[in-house]
A and B are shown apart, each in its own frame.
Chain A
């Protein structure tokens, strides 16, 4: 079904962009601040390199096999056993990343808004809507992302502008007070987030552009993500300063201190609404590619038929893992880092290296003959 749908290259990257911004803004500042304090811009910029790597991998794969997804390439080029093994590994990584993201959503809501609502209802509601969305296909999914993106970016921008009177930019100083290497310890978190651009490789056949254009616009998207996150983190730190480590969701704090008129001070629920749009786009795109990956790994399965069982199994796995916030912040994050690095960077890079050698060898034999 993926071949029959057409999206533009802008729509191709947009869901991932929206997803990174939404979740990154909420959880990254704390992690980064713990490692790099006010110098967190450095690990962020260094970590964003993984985004360019991911985009390059996607573009290279697209350049070689424009009509296939990464799962199909794995299975057809690496041999049946190794290819299917790698595909299953990728799926496992996707599932565990998805578990972390869904739990993150549930924890945020449970802690801030719905103390007494059972987690399975919060997760089940989201997954029900996501299931409905992914059954409509990638075109509908990216259309939703196109509609939501201005709202999500707009509300973040609005909060950043309205908080300006409260900011004290000197909190961003001193620059690099512990040298260059010390802040780099926090690079892992941005690497994990930016590597998610590799998810585009799961629905490549839906676009129809030259590979070069795909790479260039991908780079622009990575750059835009970096800039957006930099601005928001700068606002967070110049507002909270050292207090950033005190809060699980520092940007939520910033948003609570926005003052314009009496009634809008209580706008955290409105922020939650817009944040929900973003998390929906992220979980939906993840579940979509997960579903497509499962359908393509088991050859002959139909996408529409696997969507319900895949979502239900995913729902059960989410319920089983990381039941408390404590476990999510420690074991959960560890699993996320491991899975992201393995699934989003190592396996695709290995595939690219394999393809480079394979194609070169093939080219040579062709020349000899």
Chain B
């Protein structure tokens, strides 16, 4: 029956329509400037920001040249300096494409034959130049977009290591990577997503390290996306990851160029989106979410200890409230006698069962957290003061919650902030609530069996074919040195084997 329903749903889906290839787009660039101008004006009618300028070269009487660009996206000074001035004062006759190309003092030029390409180039901010008698247009690489300067990352700060993070321009982001990996083997392919937005996506990989099958699969999945517009990698991530119904992220998101570079050298590939500072790294394992780039910059001892600490706090973030509920409700014998006396006297005042108490506090905390993110920075302070009062002192004095519960909630909060990557901490936050309810109903056995179910789920996940718990389950000897602990870099000589047959086994500097 389910198959039948699925079939029905498939039939109802409307076929995707190519949007940009409309009537004008299919036309070829004509040899007549006048005709080209008409087509442009027709396509861009009611677009006040399009600048079309016809002009004549020195030895022509009529207007035999045409330049078109979107105001604000192209570098006007350079157009005036290198294109207009040169063409208007040039004595050479423009009797062919080659002559036209030579008379424009610009390195990045591209020949265009159809209007579809003309529209794409104009949208990219590249001025397009038409000439009388030549049925090919010339796009001039002189785009100049307004972007933020490269700044510190706000979301993934480190104490030691590079501070700069990606910005909203793909070109700048790629430069940040090229600055770090200076080999021509760093390859870049551009894909386009979004029927209206035509967002450019750069697929980066290192030739010889990355599995070609993986690249093929990534391209296939991206080409399968049909969406109006893409404004962030997250919109694509949701649609290309293997298990789309899982709470766990199967693609790593980062704002840091050094993280991307390290992953590229591991044989992974990366997606950079025009207009978003968040890049995707794939395939990814669970342990990548528990690692901070700083782990490799400080000593191996402290980073191993910190990693273990993080895993401990991951368990606390997931299980602390559930354990508290289970122990207080079912397993009082676990608590030492003096402590249980103290706890009973604390809980005496509270009219609710432990489950309700914990749920109320956790939900309040989640509310505070969400409010803190959305509020403008000036008001954010106020929320934290009010929150501290609400969650802390006042709730206890009103005997709505016991002091022990406040401790549990605060430890959980601290623990959830210890997870280096935000996406994983979201998964933990989501799973915490069902676990609390199960703990209240079935006690510890319910919690343990739920954790087993979560682990089964994690073990069943794959990220582009790579098992999610890779270096530990299935166990890989060389990979395990960089999972819960970090071995010294001298000993990490073997590159992880991700997918497919391509496996450049030894890291170059070992040879």
- Which chain A residues have a beta carbon within 8 Å of chain B's beta carbons? 7-8, 11, 109, 113-114, 117, 121-122, 125-126, 128-129, 132-133, 136-137, 140, 142-144, 146-147, 262-263, 266, 269, 272-273, 276-277, 280
| Contact with A132, one of B333, B448, B456, B473 (Cβ below 8 angstroms) | B456
Chain B residues, Cβ within 8 Å of A129: 449-450, 452-453, 456
- Decide if B460 is an interface residue (CB 8 Å cutoff): yes
Chain A residues, Cβ within 8 Å of B442: 117, 121, 125
Given contacts A146-B473, A262-B336, A269-B331, contact A125 B445 (CB under 8 A): yes
> CA–CA, A324 to B225, complex, Å?
58
- Decide if B334 is an interface residue (CB 8 Å cutoff): yes
How far apart are B339's CB and chain A's nearest CB, in angstroms?
8
| A136 B459 Cβ-Cβ under 8 A | yes
Given contacts A129-B453, A136-B460, A143-B467, contact A269 B473 (CB under 8 A): no
Chain A residues, Cβ within 8 Å of B330: 114
Chain A residues, Cβ within 8 Å of B469: 143, 147
Interface centre among A109, A128, A147, by most chain B C-beta atoms within 10 angstroms, is A147
Chain A residues, Cβ within 8 Å of B453: 129, 132-133
> CA–CA, A269 to B326, complex, Å?
11
> CA–CA, A146 to B472, complex, Å?
8
- Decide if B4 is an interface residue (CB 8 Å cutoff): no
| A113 B331 Cβ-Cβ under 8 A | yes
> CA–CA, A273 to B455, complex, Å?
14
> CA–CA, A144 to B334, complex, Å?
28
A-B contact pairs, 15 of them (CB 8 A): A129-B449, A129-B453, A133-B456, A140-B460, A142-B474, A143-B469, A144-B459, A146-B473, A146-B474, A147-B473, A263-B336, A266-B335, A272-B444, A272-B445, A273-B448
| A146 B456 Cβ-Cβ under 8 A | no
How far apart are B437's CB and chain A's nearest CB, in angstroms?
14
- Decide if B475 is an interface residue (CB 8 Å cutoff): yes
> CA–CA, A140 to B331, complex, Å?
32
> CA–CA, A109 to B444, complex, Å?
11
> CA–CA, A114 to B445, complex, Å?
9
> CA–CA, A292 to B184, complex, Å?
52
How far apart are A108's CB and chain B's nearest CB, in angstroms?
11
| A144 B455 Cβ-Cβ under 8 A | yes
> CA–CA, A136 to B455, complex, Å?
12
> CA–CA, A266 to B448, complex, Å?
18
| A147 B444 Cβ-Cβ under 8 A | no
* A276 nearest CB neighbor, chain B only: B448
> CA–CA, A132 to B473, complex, Å?
18
Q: Which are the 7 A-B pairs with shortest beta-carbon distances? A: A143-B473, A143-B459, A136-B460, A133-B456, A140-B460, A146-B473, A147-B473
| B336 A147 Cβ-Cβ under 8 A | no
Counting contact residues on chain B (CB < 8 A from A), the size range is 20 to 34
> CA–CA, A263 to B475, complex, Å?
34
- Decide if B446 is an interface residue (CB 8 Å cutoff): yes
| B445 A11 Cβ-Cβ under 8 A | no
* B443 nearest CB neighbor, chain A only: A114
Interface mask (B57-84 → A, CB under 8 Å = 1, otherwise 0):
0000000000000000000000000000
> CA–CA, A122 to B444, complex, Å?
11
Chain B residues, Cβ within 8 Å of A137: 460
> CA–CA, A161 to B497, complex, Å?
38
| B467 A266 Cβ-Cβ under 8 A | no
| Contact with B459, one of A8, A140, A266, A273 (Cβ below 8 angstroms) | A140
Chain B residues, Cβ within 8 Å of A136: 456, 459-460
> CA–CA, A170 to B423, complex, Å?
57
* A145 nearest CB neighbor, chain B only: B473
Given contacts A140-B460, A147-B455, 7 further A-B contacts (CB under 8 A): A113-B444, A113-B445, A144-B455, A147-B459, A269-B334, A272-B445, A276-B452
| A147 B472 Cβ-Cβ under 8 A | yes
Chain B residues, Cβ within 8 Å of A8: 474
> CA–CA, A293 to B446, complex, Å?
29
> CA–CA, A205 to B340, complex, Å?
54
Chain A residues, Cβ within 8 Å of B472: 146-147
| A266 B334 Cβ-Cβ under 8 A | yes
| B473 A144 Cβ-Cβ under 8 A | yes
Chain B residues, Cβ within 8 Å of A266: 333-336
> CA–CA, A266 to B443, complex, Å?
17
* B475 nearest CB neighbor, chain A only: A146
| A277 B473 Cβ-Cβ under 8 A | no
| A126 B449 Cβ-Cβ under 8 A | yes
Interface centre among B333, B444, B457, by most chain A C-beta atoms within 10 angstroms, is B444
Chain A residues, Cβ within 8 Å of B459: 136, 140, 143-144, 147
How far apart are B18's CB and chain A's nearest CB, in angstroms?
38
| A109 B445 Cβ-Cβ under 8 A | yes
How far apart are B2's CB and chain A's nearest CB, in angstroms?
12
Interface mask (B302-337 → A, CB under 8 Å = 1, otherwise 0):
000000000000000000000000000011011110
CB interface residues, B 447-481, toward A, < 8 Å = 448-450, 452-453, 455-457, 459-460, 467, 469, 472-475
> CA–CA, A109 to B459, complex, Å?
27
CB interface residues, B 468-508, toward A, < 8 Å = 469, 472-475
How far apart are A262's CB and chain B's nearest CB, in angstroms?
6
| B473 A122 Cβ-Cβ under 8 A | no
> CA–CA, A122 to B441, complex, Å?
12
Interface centre among B442, B446, B448, by most chain A C-beta atoms within 10 angstroms, is B448
> CA–CA, A126 to B449, complex, Å?
7
Chain A residues, Cβ within 8 Å of B331: 113, 269
How far apart are B180's CB and chain A's nearest CB, in angstroms?
35
| B449 A125 Cβ-Cβ under 8 A | yes
How far apart are A276's CB and chain B's nearest CB, in angstroms?
5
| B446 A125 Cβ-Cβ under 8 A | yes
How far apart are A132's CB and chain B's nearest CB, in angstroms?
6
Chain A residues, Cβ within 8 Å of B448: 273, 276-277
Chain A residues, Cβ within 8 Å of B335: 266
| Contact with A269, one of B444, B455, B456 (Cβ below 8 angstroms) | B444
